[in-house]
Amino acid sequence: MRPVHAADDQPLPPGQRESSWRPMHYGRVPRLDVERWSLTVGGETRDGGMTVLDRATLHALPWAEVEARLHCVARTSTPPLRWGGVRMADMVALAPPAADAGHVLLAAARGYAACVTLADLVHPDSLLATHVDGQPLTPEQGWPGRVVLPHLYGFKGPKWVAELTYHHRPQQGWWESHGYHPRARVVHEERFAHQG
């Protein structure tokens, strides 16, 4: 087994400094019933319909683990965390988008939303995480499920994710509508929509 916090393998990306993990978000923490948890997939789907992926769907998919820091666009990064869950690519395969729908709005149970490209969503390290460091997520950490996209800034990954909607064009989530970057790739320091 690899150590949980293999910080040596996880250098800090440009412009980030490490700080301990203290979950933060706007609004109250929803207390969600895990048995009734579901992810609704809609918008420009391949079959034109809506699919509800429930807890049983999730359990039927292969377990995946990814070790990654959480990089906030405001320049702090957590120590490496071992996220556990299922790959977003596997979820997307169960309810695929129309051929030309390259953008996905990820919405949380309490109003928060973020828009990502389909390519970023199906990145092999992208997870629908239910666990961290071997434990189920706490409500503050996003239980019953949060999107973890390690190559993008943290704002692209809603905690308490409830809906996934395919679109032909980029959408404005919460931070995108406040000037933050539509793509938000950490290695390229894509922090703000109008940089430089």
Ligand X SMILES: Nc1nc2c(c(=O)[nH]1)N[C@H]1C(S)=C(S)[C@@H](COP(=O)(O)O)O[C@H]1N2
In angstroms, give the least distance from the CB of 20 to Mo ion. 15
User: Residue 103 in contact with residue 166, Cβ under 8 Å?
Assistant: yes
Coil vs helix vs strand at 21: coil
131 lines the binding site for ligand X (CB under 6 A): no
Handedness of CA 107, 164, 90, 155 (dihedral sign): negative
In angstroms, give the least distance from the CB of 168 to ligand X. 25
Write the secondary structure of 75-91 as one string of H (helix), E (strand) and C (coil).
Answer: CEECCCEEEEEEEHHHH
121 lines the binding site for ligand X (CB under 6 A): no
The one of Mo ion, ligand X, none whose footprint includes residue 5, by CB under 5 to 8 A per kind, is: none
Question: What is the per-residue DSSP string for 96-154?
Answer: PBPTT--EEEEEETTS-EEEEEHHHHT-TT-EEEEEETTEEPPTTTTTT-EEE-TTB-G
In angstroms, give the least distance from the CB of 140 to ligand X. 7
Interface mask toward Mo ion for 142-171; x: CB under 5 A: ------------xx----------------
Which single residue brings its beta carbon nearest to Mo ion? 72
Distance, in Å, from the CA atom of 63 to the CA atom of 179, rounded to the nearest integer, reads: 35
159 lines the binding site for ligand X (CB under 6 A): yes
118 lines the binding site for ligand X (CB under 6 A): no
Q: Which is nearer to ligand X, 41 or 45 (CB)?
A: 41
141 lines the binding site for ligand X (CB under 6 A): yes
24 lines the binding site for ligand X (CB under 6 A): yes
